[in-house]
Structure 1
Amino acid sequence: MNSEAVSALLAKSPSLKPAKAKLEAMEPGTYVVHRSWGFGQIKSYDEASHKLLIDFRDKKNHPMDPAFCVNTMDVLPPKHLLVRKETEPKKIAELIAENPAQLVVEALQAYPNNAATGIELEVTLGQVIGEDKFKKWWSAAKKALAKDPRVAVPEKKTECYVLRETPVSAEDEIIEQFGSTRSARRRILLAEELLATDTKDLHPDHLTGMLKTVADAVRESNQLTAAERLYGAAVRDDLAKAIGAENNFEPTQASLVSVARDLPTIAETIPVHFQSRFLELVQATHPIEARDILFSLLKTSQGKFTTEVINFLVEQGHSDELANTLKRWQTEQNLRAPVLLWIVKNRHSKKFAKLLNDLITPRLLGAIFFAIDYEALQAASARRIPLADILSDDPDLISDLLSTADPETARDLANTLMLNQGFEELTKKSLLARFIKIFPKIQSLVAADAEGKEEQLLVSRSSYDRKREEYDTIVAKKIPENSKAIAAAREHGDLRENSEFKMAKQDQSVLMAQKAQLERDLARARVTDFKDASTDQVGVGTVVEVKNNATGATTTYTILGAWDGDPDRHIISYKTAFGAALVGKKRGEIVKVKTGGNEEDYTIVTISRYVDQAAG
C-alpha cells in the first residue's frame, strides 16, 4: 500500500493508527503469512475496491481488506527463511542438505533480538523443509546445534534459541549451564556431557568444583531415584578419574547395588549406555549369587536391557543354563513379553541357534498370544504392543512357530487369536489368513464368524446399555483381576500341581468366551426407539392382544428388542419362539405356537404401537 492509501484508510478507521507501519509494509511483492491461508505474496493493491490482492498457495489473486489483515496476517522480512526459499531456493536447499546448523543461525537472524522459541523455530523450519522430512532433519540438526558455539540451545521448546553475539565453546556452555541449574539430575547429565568433550583447556578449578557439586548431589539430593543416584555415582567417579582426583566418595557404586532386591527397580530406568556397566558392577558386587541375580533381572527385563542381560549371560559362559531356564519359563508360562520379543527377533541368529532351536514351537505362539492379551488388558490407553507389531509385520513368524503343529493345535491357537484383546479385527483376519495358508480347514472359523454377523439384532437403548456395561465390567475389571491371579499363581511354583493356577486359567477361558460372545452381540446390535413400528402387522415395537382359542382368554403382549424381556409385564423379545411366531401376522390371523409338547392356537385381536402407549 502506498502512503496515500494508508492515510485514507487511517482517516476512515482511526483505531488502525498503531498499525500504520505494518500497513505501509504491505507493498506489492512482499511475502506474508496469513493465519488461515498460510504463506503468500502481495501482488497489488486495488484502489477501486480498497483491497489487497494476494497470491496464496491454493488461492491466487485473493482480495483481502487491509484492515482485516492487520490482526490476521504477518508481513515477513526479506531475510525470513520462507521468503528466501522463494527468492534463493538453491541456497536454502544447499543449507538444508549440507549445513543444518547454519540454516538455523540464518533463521534466528530474521527474528527480533536474534532469538526464537523452539516452537516458533520448528513451525518455520517445518514449512521450509516439508513436514514429511522435518522430523528426521530436525533430529540431526539439534545434534549439530549442540556443538555449535554460536547458538545457545534451550532445555525446553518454550524457551529460546539465541544467536550469541560472541561464540561460546561447547565446554564453556556446559559449565555455564551447570552453574545456572539447581537440578541434581541435570547437573549429572551435564557433567557426563562435559566428559565427552575436550577438557584439556579447561581451568582445573572448574572441573574440581563440578566434581564436588556432583558428589554432593549423589550423597544428599532427595530428587534422585535409585537408578539416577547410581548413575550419578558412576559419572562422579569418571570425573574424578579424568582430573586425577582422589576417589574416596560415599556412597560408592558398590554400596548402591548391594541390596539384591533393589536391583530390578534400578534396572528399569538405568540409561541404556550404562546397562553393561551396571551388569558388570552387579557381578563384581555379588560374586557368589551373581548368576541367580542376573536371571532374576532377565525375567523382569524390558527393552534393550533384555538383550544386554542375555548377551552378558552368554559372555559369562551361562549359555546352557540360559537355554534350560528359557525352556522352563516356557513350560511354566513365565516367558514375558520382552523376552519373547527377543526370542522371535533372534530365532534365525547363528549366534543363538543352539539356545533357541527348541523354543520355536507352537507352544511359544501360545505364550506370545497370552503376553499380548495380558499387556493389552493392563494398558491404560491404546499404546503400541511391540510383540503384536512383530507378529503382524514379520510374514514368516507364524509359519515358523506352526512348523511342528498338528491341525488341532493350530485350530486352538487360531481360536485364541480371535479372542485376543491386543489386535484390531482387521489384523486378526490378516493373521488368521496365515494360519489358513498352512491349515486350510481353519477357514471354517472365518465362515462361522461371517455367518454370525449376517443378521442384525434390533435392541432397545436400555438393553444395549446393560449389555455394554456387562462387557466393560468383564474387560476393565474381571479379566485384569484374572490376569493378576494367574501371574500370582505362577509364582507359587510347579504349575502341574498348582490348583490355584489351573482354576485361574479355567476362569480365564470362561471370561474370554464371554467377552468374545458379547463382542459379537454388540457388533450385530442396532439400537432402535421402536418409532418405525406399524399397526398393519405385528413387528418389533408393537403391542399385541391375542385370544387363546382353546380357553377364550385374552392377553396383551409387548414385543420389543432381542434383549428385552419381563414376563411379569408380558414384555417379550421378538427372538423368542412366541415373539417370532407373532411377527408378521395381521389382525384376525390365527397363529400356531408350540409350547413344550403342545401346540396352541391364538387369534390376533388388536395391534397398537408401543411408543404411543409409552407416551400416553
Structure 2
Amino acid sequence: MDVELEKLVESGRLTAKAAEQLERLKPGSFCLHKSWGFGRVAEWNLLLNQIVIDFTTKPNHPMQLAYAAESLTPIAPEHFLARKASAPDAIKALLKSDPAAVVRNILESLGGKATLAQISEMLIGDLFTETEWKRWWTSAKKAMKAGGYFSVPTKKSEPIALRSEPVSRADELLTFFNQARQPKEQGAAVDQIIKFHSEFKEPQSQLQPIIEKIESTAGQNQKLHSALTFELMLARDDLLERVPQLKSTRPDLTLERLIAEEESRLTTILANLPSAKERRVLQALPRALGDRWITRAWQMMMSNNQRLAAQVPRVFIENGHQADLVSFLERALREHSAVSEILLWLCRERASFPNLITPDLLTAILAALERDQHNEASRSSRLRDLLLEDRELISDIFAQADVGAARDVMRRLLLTPVFDDLTKRSLIARVIKLYPELESMVTGAQPEEKRETLVVSWSSLDKRKAEYEE
C-alpha cells in the first residue's frame, strides 16, 4: 500500500478498506461513477484529503478521499472504456479490421454479456454517428455469428452473451428451434435454418426431425393459427427443395390443400403473412382452386387491402387472364363499385391499362372517396392525395374524352362533398385548362355588358335640354 495512505489509516483519517480502494485509484488509472460516468484519476492531494477526477462531463472534479473510495469503481486498463480513452486510434483501427474483437472487449468489460443498447452507448458519439453505428453493427453481427463465440438473440432487448467455447451456427440454429415454445418462434427459427442450410454437415440426421416437427405443428395449428400454418408449410417446402435427402412425413399436407380448405378465410390469412410469402400463396391459387380461382382472386382484390390490390393483378397476368382482369375492372368502374386501393393501383399502373383511363375512372374515384369519407379505417386518403398530387392524372383521364363527358364530370366535381372549395377549384381548373369552354359552369353566367357613367357640365346639360325642347 502507498506510504501516504498507510499514514492516513494509522492516523484514523481513513479506513483500511477505503485505503485499499484508493490504492487502485492512483493517478492515471480509470474509474466509473454511477452519476458522472467514466473518468480518469488526474491527481491525489492527500494534504487536502482530496482526489481529483477528470470525468467526461465534469473535468478536474475534486472528491473527498472517503467519498471517492466509496463511490468510484476502478476499472482495469484493458476495459473497453479505458482503452478507448488511452488509445483511441488503436480502437478505431480495430473497429474496421476486427469488429468481433471490439464486441468481445465490450462484453468482457461488462461481465460477459450486454444488451444492444449498452454496446451502442459505448460507441455512438465519440466513435460513430447513429448512421455509421447501424452500418457497422450489421457487419459486426455477421463476424460474430461466423465465429460462434457469441450468443446473439433475436430480440434486441435480450443481452448478447460471450461463450467460452465456439458453437457452430448449425448447432446454434438447432438449439434455437428446439427451445422455441411458440409456433411463431419455431417459424422464425426455420427461416434461419433455411437461410443457412448449407452449414449443416449431416443434414438428414440434423434436419429430418425439423421437418417432422414442422408438419406436426402445422397440422395442430391450422384452425387456430392459420397464417402460421401457411408459413410453416412454405418453410417445409423450401427446406425439402434445398435438401433433397429430407422426406415429408405428411405428403397430404400441401399448400394447395390449405388454400382450398381455407378459401373463405384467405383474405384475412394473407393479411397476416409477410409479403413474399403472400405472393407465393397467390401464385398457387390456380393450382389449388381450379377455374374458380379467377372469381376468388377478384373478391380478394376487392377487399381493399393494399398488398392484395397490387399483387393479385400479377397473378391474372402471369396466368394469361389479363382480359378477365380488365373485364372486372371495367365493370367496377362503370358501376362505381371499385374500392379505393384498386383505384389507387390502377392510377399508378395506368400506362399498362390505357383503355381504362377514362372519365369513368374519375367518377369512380369520387364515388370511392364519398363512400369512405366517414370510415375511420378507410385508406381512401391515399387515393385523395394521389388525385391532388399527380398533376398528369386529370389530363390522362380526359385524353380521349369529348366535351360532353367532361361537362358531366365537372358537374360531379361541383357537387361532391369530399373536397373543400379550394381543392375543388384546383381540380376544376385542371379540367378547364383542357376544355376552356366549360369555364361558364363555374362562373354561372355570361359576362355582363360594360356600363359607363356619362359626366357633363350643367351648361352643357341645359343646352341639350333646350335643343330637345325645340
Q: Is the 8 A contact 2:100 2:143 kept in 1?
A: yes
Q: Secondary structure at the match of 2:161?
A: strand
Are 2:81 and 1:92 equivalent residues in the alignment? no
Query: Which string of whole-angstrom CA distances, capped at 9 and with x for unpartnered residues, describes residues 309-349 of structure 1?
Result: 232222223334434544554566655565455455556xx
Q: CA deviation at 1:226?
A: 0.1
Query: Which string of whole-angstrom CA distances, capped at 9 and with x for unpartnered residues, describes residues 575-600 of structure 1?
Result: xxxxxxxxxxxxxxxxxxxxxxxxxx
Q: Specify the structure having the higher radius of gyration (Cα).
A: 2
Query: Which string of whole-angstrom CA distances, capped at 9 and with x for unpartnered residues, describes residues 224-253 of structure 1?
Result: 610111221232344445224255445332
Q: Distance in 2 between matches of 1:223 and 1:71?
A: 61
Residue 215 of structure 1 corresponds to: 215
Task: Report how many aligned residue pairs link the two structures.
Answer: 417
State the identity %.
23
Q: Is the 8 A contact 1:34 1:73 kept in 2?
A: yes
Q: Distance in 2 between matches of 1:64 and 1:436?
A: 75
Residue 117 of structure 1 corresponds to: 115
Query: Which string of whole-angstrom CA distances, capped at 9 and with x for unpartnered residues, describes residues 291-325 of structure 1?
Result: 11112222336455543323222222333443454
Q: Distance in 1 between matches of 2:53 and 2:206?
A: 57
Q: Distance in 2 between matches of 1:9 and 1:388?
A: 76
Residue 226 of structure 2 corresponds to: 226
Q: Distance in 1 between matches of 2:231 and 2:45?
A: 67
Q: CA deviation at 1:286?
A: 0.3
- Aligned counterpart in structure 2 of residue 276 of structure 1, from 279, 292, 295: 279
Q: Is the 8 A contact 2:124 2:133 kept in 1?
A: yes
Residue 318 of structure 1 corresponds to: 321
- CA 1:87–1:265 in 2, change beyond 3 Å: closer, same or farther? same
Q: Distance in 2 between matches of 1:413 and 1:137?
A: 57
Q: Distance in 2 between matches of 1:341 and 1:64?
A: 67
- CA 1:45–1:151 in 2, change beyond 3 Å: closer, same or farther? same
- CA 1:246–1:159 in 2, change beyond 3 Å: closer, same or farther? closer
Residue 164 of structure 1 corresponds to: 163
Which residues in structure 2 correspond to 1:98-497 (within 5 Å)?
99-112=98-111, 114-127=112-125, 128-139=127-138, 141-142=140-141, 145-197=144-196, 198=198, 201-202=201-202, 204-221=204-221, 225-241=225-241, 242=243, 243-258=245-260, 259-300=262-303, 302=305, 304-326=307-329, 328-329=331-332, 335-336=338-339, 338-339=341-342, 342-343=345-346, 346=349, 352=352, 354=354, 357-358=357-358, 363=363, 366=366, 377-378=376-377, 391=385, 397-403=389-395, 416=418
Letter in 1 for 2:176: Q
Letter in 1 for 2:211: L
- CA 1:332–1:356 in 2, change beyond 3 Å: closer, same or farther? closer
Query: Which string of whole-angstrom CA distances, capped at 9 and with x for unpartnered residues, describes residues 159-202 of structure 1?
Result: 33222222222112111222333333322332332232215612
Query: Which string of whole-angstrom CA distances, capped at 9 and with x for unpartnered residues, describes residues 34-83 of structure 1?
Result: 55445543333444654443444454323445666678765544334444
Q: Is the 8 A contact 2:212 2:248 kept in 1?
A: no
258-267 vs 140-149, greater mean Cα deviation: 140-149
Q: Secondary structure at the match of 1:286?
A: helix
Q: Distance in 2 between matches of 1:99 and 1:338?
A: 49
Q: Distance in 1 between matches of 2:147 and 2:131?
A: 26
Letter in 2 for 1:279: L
Letter in 2 for 1:281: A
| Structure 2, unaligned runs of 5 or more | 399-405, 433-470
Query: Which string of whole-angstrom CA distances, capped at 9 and with x for unpartnered residues, describes residues 74-94 of structure 1?
Result: 554433444434444344334
Letter in 2 for 1:257: I
Q: CA deviation at 1:4?
A: 4.5
- CA 1:361–1:283 in 2, change beyond 3 Å: closer, same or farther? closer
Q: Is the 8 A contact 2:234 2:277 kept in 1?
A: no
- CA 1:310–1:333 in 2, change beyond 3 Å: closer, same or farther? same
| Structure 1, unaligned runs of 5 or more | 380-384, 420-428, 441-616
Q: Distance in 2 between matches of 1:335 and 1:4?
A: 89
Q: CA deviation at 1:12?
A: 5.7
Q: Distance in 1 between matches of 2:425 and 2:75?
A: 56
Q: Distance in 1 between matches of 2:411 and 2:2?
A: 83
Q: Distance in 2 between matches of 1:252 and 1:120?
A: 45
Q: Distance in 1 between matches of 2:383 and 2:87?
A: 44
Q: Distance in 2 between matches of 1:96 and 1:413?
A: 65
Output the aligned Cα RMSD: 4.8
Q: Is the 8 A contact 1:37 1:56 kept in 2?
A: yes
Residue 79 of structure 1 corresponds to: 78
Q: Is the 8 A contact 2:366 2:416 kept in 1?
A: no
Q: Is the 8 A contact 1:26 1:42 kept in 2?
A: yes
The normalised TM-score by structure 1 is: 0.55
Q: Is the 8 A contact 2:9 2:19 kept in 1?
A: no
Residue 464 of structure 2 corresponds to: none
The structure with the greater share of residues assigned to helix is 2
- CA 1:415–1:298 in 2, change beyond 3 Å: closer, same or farther? closer
- CA 1:222–1:53 in 2, change beyond 3 Å: closer, same or farther? farther
- CA 1:201–1:33 in 2, change beyond 3 Å: closer, same or farther? same
Q: Is the 8 A contact 1:410 1:439 kept in 2?
A: no
259-268 vs 300-309, greater mean Cα deviation: 300-309
Q: Distance in 1 between matches of 2:428 and 2:67?
A: 64
Q: Secondary structure at the match of 2:284?
A: helix
Q: Distance in 2 between matches of 1:87 and 1:368?
A: 66
Q: Distance in 1 between matches of 2:58 and 2:416?
A: 54
Q: Distance in 1 between matches of 2:48 and 2:387?
A: 64
Q: Secondary structure at the match of 1:287?
A: helix
Q: Is the 8 A contact 1:39 1:56 kept in 2?
A: yes
Query: Which string of whole-angstrom CA distances, capped at 9 and with x for unpartnered residues, describes residues 11-53 of structure 1?
Result: 6686x94x77655444433445555445543333444654443
Q: Is the 8 A contact 1:100 1:141 kept in 2?
A: yes
Q: Is the 8 A contact 1:410 1:435 kept in 2?
A: no
- CA 1:366–1:51 in 2, change beyond 3 Å: closer, same or farther? farther
Query: Which string of whole-angstrom CA distances, capped at 9 and with x for unpartnered residues, describes residues 533-564 of structure 1?
Result: xxxxxxxxxxxxxxxxxxxxxxxxxxxxxxxx
Letter in 2 for 1:183: Q
